Structure 1
Amino acid sequence: MKELVAQQLVKYLERRGVEHVFGLCGHTNIAVLAALEKSTIKFVNVRHEQIAAHMADGYARAKKTTSVVLCHVGPGLTNAATGVANAALDSIPMVVIAGDVPSHYYGKHPHQEINLHADASQYEIYRPFVKRAWRVERPELFPEIIEKAFQLAENGRPGPVLVSVPMDIFSKEIDVSLFEKQNYHTKTLHKPSIDDETAKQIIGMILRAERPLFYVGGGIMLANAAAELKELVDHLSIPVAYTLMGKGAISDDHPLTLGMTGFWGTKFVNDTCRNADVILALGTRFSEADCSSWESEYTFNIPTTKLIHIDIDPNEIGRNYPTEIGIVADLKQALTVLNRVAKEMVPRGRQNDELKQQIAQYKQEFRKSNEEHIRNNSYPIRPERILQEVREVLPRDAYITTDVGWNKNGVGQQFPAYEASTILTPGGYATMGFGAPAALGAKIAQPDKVVVSLVGDGGFGQNPAVLATAAEENIPVVWVIMNNYAFGTIAGLEKAHFGTTHGTVFQRDGKPYSPDYASIARAYGIEGVKIQSAEEFKPALQRAIESNKPFVIDVEMLNVPTPTAGHWNIMDIYSPGKKVHHVSVNI
């Protein structure tokens, strides 16, 4: 029996359990769209392919699954590229299926082909950031390729892959047995663990240490290992610091949780890490911002501090710091063994009440340092007040997406996360424009959870067409636009080092300018509120959540820098020896 490749592709995705495909139409992929019409799979239509990729990214994080993006040749593929690259740097599993030029037109430069350096080579655009890029050369090869694509995206260090399909191949008939053959291949690979001898060595080093510390990254969430982490922390009474991507791996109200490290970290957290004698690092790549540009006087003093590093990706072990013990393993498997061995070596566990008291005192002092800003009734509103009131209104298990700027940096430093995987932020690529569409993907993945997107006016302005998809699909996300009339963080950076804000603030006729995003929302058929005073914000947010509809809240915010005691050596590039960070920019 024979059937069109496009039809068999959709049936294959159904068998894999795919429930949503995110994308945008084009003449190269409409055979797949036509097949999706009769499918249980929901096609989520967007107005820009970057939106599709970010939605798929948020969906994959919230649902803990591999997401699927369908896009068009040429500009469709390049429009999606930023979102796919963001997923790559944050290790998010994603399969991108792209229409391509007809195979019989190779070399003729057909409509929308990119071929300045080679014919039929659009897939090469993605090579620098996807785990693998395929171009399907013959229809009978497609079933094996799509099976390999999912397996590679999901295993090892997860990440996106690209399958570029000439449009004529979508419309070719092949024997259904070629797809059915893939049913016999396992859909779940067993992942590597650690042996007891290695686990005893690790636990032994931790027990002998005077100031041991756990340092956790986003790999904990990718491995779904938060429960195993908490079990080990509780049994051994070890403090935990985290990366930006690791926020939520252990609850911020846990008595042994320190907080985020690096440039946006606090002095207490950074000093605790720097003075540790043994660090067990779990699922982190030790990125620049988290590690204060790897300069030993700020956050980590390795190798004076002995490092044990467990990660699924061997490339990350020893990349930025020398490692005493390096283990390639799945974190859930590894922590399961470590827990068992720790209970064998220390059956009754350990307690460190003095350390818990120190951490509690630090947290109390940190909260107190923000009280003045939180109580401030001036308008434009203080960002600290926005974050505080959002936390007060939201349930503990709500999802937050951020963009870049105060919303991302402030959330990492000041916004308590209580459950793993509920803070979705663009980490490695730090992509402006991520937060607003990622929230739609998260809400589709978790329809029973509250989803709020904290974004700046610069980030929301990147792709306001997210509102069209929200309206069409009735996706009840709340967007809080922290509006400072600027690319605020960069404006503060430029002002501090060069004395100007040229190209970073939004003005019209010399006065601060912003579109009325509440009115824009209403034009899309979505409720929108423009806040006029600090006291209006919290009730408006409560009303937005209770409405269970898409809702935009435009709130003016002071353009003040996120406080930091950390270090990022770009400051030394701009202003050598001056220890200058950011300054406020008045609008």
Structure 2
Amino acid sequence: MNQENGAEIIVEALIERGVPYLFGLCGHGIVGLMDAAFDRANRIEMVSVHNEQVAGFMADAYYRVTGQPVATFTSCGPGSVNIQMAVATALHDSSAMLAITGNVPTDQFNRMPFQELGQHFQADFVTAMRPYVKRSFQAPRADMLPAIMDQAQDVMVAGRPGPVHLDVPFNVFTETVDVERADGAAPAATFRPQADSEAVERALELLASAERPLILAGYGCQVAGAGEAVRALAEKLNIPVATTPQGKGAFDENHPLMLGPTGRDGVYAGNRAARGCDVLLALGTRFGDRSTSAWEPGITHDFSAQKLIHVEIDPDRIGRNYRPDIAMAADVGAALAQLLKAAGEKGIGPLQKAEAWLKRAQGWRGDWRAAIAETAGCDDEPIHPDRAMAEINRAVPDGALVLSDIGSHHSWMVQQFEVTKGRRLFQSGGFATMGFGVCGALGAQIAAPDKPVVAVVGDGGFLMHASAVATAVEYDLPIVWVVWNNGGYVSIRDIQKGYFGAERTCATMFRSQRSGAPVSSDFAMLGKSMGAEGYRVTRPADLSEAISAALAARRPAVIDVRMEANAVRRTAGGWNLSPLKGAPPNYDPDPHLA
């Protein structure tokens, strides 16, 4: 038996599971945990930030890069309320983290002390967190913590990964109890359910009989680390592959079988093939409105004339938006391994009947790329987004970690950023949270200190979370932020224009309320004021050079890029906000389904 206080139990349990970092922000309610981490600084490192959301976004990105969950620490009251947005983002994007929040001492429950949330129940922060986590635990006694820590760290990674919350009253951090520790750490729970073998057989038969088969790789392929398995099945059967926007990067986008993303921000080949196929193997997707063009038949999908095989680890996501002909509630990687094994045993190879279909699909990909190239060389100032994407693709090196924030730039990133040559793209897809790209870059760089990290962010999102730059300077993290400076919340302004009319935009552009003149921050100067490098780019030809120079300097850097706010993006998908109808695709040279 060892004598340990509650904080020591928590920190030791994290260390046993290999957790290397605690990301967070100090506060009186969490100092007990911080004290235990102080004594163990050689085994677990605290990283301090300037806003609790930053810590949550960092933990989210760290997990996406490494597959290893980390923990956050925040104080009671506003300190922990502030992390909820980042935790919700992690839940929507299947990212595991342990959010540890401090609370008021148990002997002050129901007395409404400083920062207690107790309107309906004492120390009630667990209720506030319930919608955003897989499970919320509260430990009113220190002797409950060993079991809670085992359960919490298992729940995070079991099935679909996600955030878990642990709420600890102040006195529990310092209360001492007897703890019996087994030799060695308990193994982390892993749950990778396989598909029903009969469903695998039927799915393979349906694919083998198809004339126009398509694989749709969703974000579940990324979460499961199944990109190589997707490629292996596609190559074995010679089937083209599209991705959902969040699944972008499941494997190299220059691969001849890769058609690109579907939906609102997708490309022509992805959408055209998705609506024209006769059998769709959908892997790890919930068929959300953004990836399906708001379920409008004939734009991205038309299941009145298609067969659907749906593989998804969460049973409650199967059939929610489209009823499958064959359903597999399974881990994507496990199901793909079963399909590959069965294909090998049955001697099923390239599908001869699908050769003409594949050639047509590759033609659609070539047509789309040729259309994009027409404006990718534009020399206009401010910079046209198509040209900006060409320069970003040129400058981002092989193996780089790239994060996109949310804003108008995100649509161009989904369409045109090339996830090739070992590059990885991370984005907030489910919750679409401004700040993930700005702040998550810190977690990505800590996770992969030797890799280049580039965050492409909007001016709106960067203004919300610019403190991330100060943290990068403090911890010597050589992140490059490319700020897409178009003077406002342009994606929302465009929605106003599309649904209500061009003359009915309001509260979306950054302008002086007195004169109406544009108001734009000097983000290069802002970066310099915090100790980072700062670059201002107004000419298209200078953008790739600025990114390359910033990466070579190996210091935190902010690149302020003056962007054209009124450029029209080519669209091959759509998006409706019921009851309002969005604009139809403006690029559709071959609208026939078959």
TM-score scaled to structure 2, two decimals? 0.93
Superposition pairs for residues 158-557 of structure 1, below 5 Å?
Answer: 158-177=161-180, 180-181=181-182, 185-346=186-347, 348-350=349-351, 354-418=356-420, 422-496=424-498, 497-498=500-501, 499-508=503-512, 509-557=515-563
SS in 2 for 1:65: coil
Q: How far apart are residue 195 of structure 1 and its match? A: 4.7
Residues in 1 aligned to 2:183 and 2:152: alpha-carbon distance in whole angstroms: 12
2:592 alignment counterpart: none
Query: Counterpart amino acid of 1:426?
Result: S
Q: 1:246-296: CA deviations, max 9, x gaps?
A: 000121111111111111223442221112111111111111110111122
The question of 1:77 aligning with 2:93 is answered no
Q: Is the CA contact (8 Å cut-off) linking 1:19 and 1:41 kept in structure 2?
A: yes
Q: Is the CA contact (8 Å cut-off) linking 2:259 and 2:362 kept in structure 1?
A: no
Cα 1:2–1:83 change in 2 (3 A) is same
Cα 1:298–1:311 change in 2 (3 A) is same
Query: Counterpart amino acid of 2:563?
Result: M
Residues in 1 aligned to 2:432 and 2:568: alpha-carbon distance in whole angstroms: 17
Q: 2:138 aligns with which of 135, 157, 163?
A: 135
Query: Counterpart amino acid of 2:457?
Result: V
Query: Counterpart amino acid of 1:407?
Result: H
SS in 2 for 1:174: strand
Cα 1:578–1:336 change in 2 (3 A) is closer
Cα 1:580–1:226 change in 2 (3 A) is closer
Residues in 2 aligned to 1:309 and 1:303: alpha-carbon distance in whole angstroms: 16
Query: Counterpart amino acid of 2:15?
Result: E
Q: Which runs of 5 or more residues in structure 2 are unaligned?
A: 587-594
**Corresponding residue pairs, total:** 577
SS in 1 for 2:403: strand
1:585 alignment counterpart: none
Q: How far apart are residue 412 of structure 1 and its match? A: 1.0
Superposition pairs for residues 117-128 of structure 1, below 5 Å?
Answer: 117-128=120-131
The question of 1:65 aligning with 2:68 is answered yes
Q: How far apart are residue 211 of structure 1 and its match? A: 1.0
Cα 1:30–1:209 change in 2 (3 A) is same
Residues in 2 aligned to 1:56 and 1:127: alpha-carbon distance in whole angstroms: 19
Name the % identity.
36
Q: 1:159-209: CA deviations, max 9, x gaps?
A: 1111100011001111121xx259674313342113543322211110011
Q: 1:498-553: CA deviations, max 9, x gaps?
A: 32321000012311111111111111011111123222212111100111111100
Q: How far apart are residue 8 of structure 1 and its match? A: 2.6
Cα 1:577–1:64 change in 2 (3 A) is closer
Q: How far apart are residue 565 of structure 1 and its match? A: 2.7
Q: How far apart are residue 419 of structure 1 and its match? A: 6.4
2:91 alignment counterpart: 88
SS in 2 for 1:512: coil
Residues in 2 aligned to 1:370 and 1:24: alpha-carbon distance in whole angstroms: 44
Residues in 2 aligned to 1:55 and 1:520: alpha-carbon distance in whole angstroms: 21
Q: 1:459-508: CA deviations, max 9, x gaps?
A: 11111000111010011110000100010111122133332321000012
Residues in 2 aligned to 1:224 and 1:436: alpha-carbon distance in whole angstroms: 24
Superposition pairs for residues 560-579 of structure 1, below 5 Å?
Answer: 560-570=567-577, 573-574=579-580
Residues in 1 aligned to 2:423 and 2:398: alpha-carbon distance in whole angstroms: 12
Q: Is the CA contact (8 Å cut-off) linking 1:248 and 1:420 kept in structure 2?
A: no
Q: Which range moves more in the overlay, 80-89 or 130-139?
A: 130-139
Q: Which runs of 5 or more residues in structure 1 are unaligned?
A: 582-587
Q: 1:330-353: CA deviations, max 9, x gaps?
A: 111111111111112235544665
The question of 1:116 aligning with 2:119 is answered yes
Query: Counterpart amino acid of 2:528?
Result: R
Q: Which range moves more in the overlay, 24-33 or 526-535?
A: 526-535
Q: 1:77-132: CA deviations, max 9, x gaps?
A: 11100010011111111111110111110110011111222222111101112111
Cα RMSD for the two superposed structures: 1.9
Residues in 1 aligned to 2:536 and 2:185: alpha-carbon distance in whole angstroms: 56
Residues in 2 aligned to 1:207 and 1:535: alpha-carbon distance in whole angstroms: 49
Residues in 2 aligned to 1:388 and 1:15: alpha-carbon distance in whole angstroms: 46
TM-score scaled to structure 1, two decimals? 0.95
Residues in 2 aligned to 1:471 and 1:434: alpha-carbon distance in whole angstroms: 19
Q: Is the CA contact (8 Å cut-off) linking 2:480 and 2:558 kept in structure 1?
A: yes
Residues in 2 aligned to 1:579 and 1:253: alpha-carbon distance in whole angstroms: 28
Q: How far apart are residue 577 of structure 1 and its match? A: 8.7
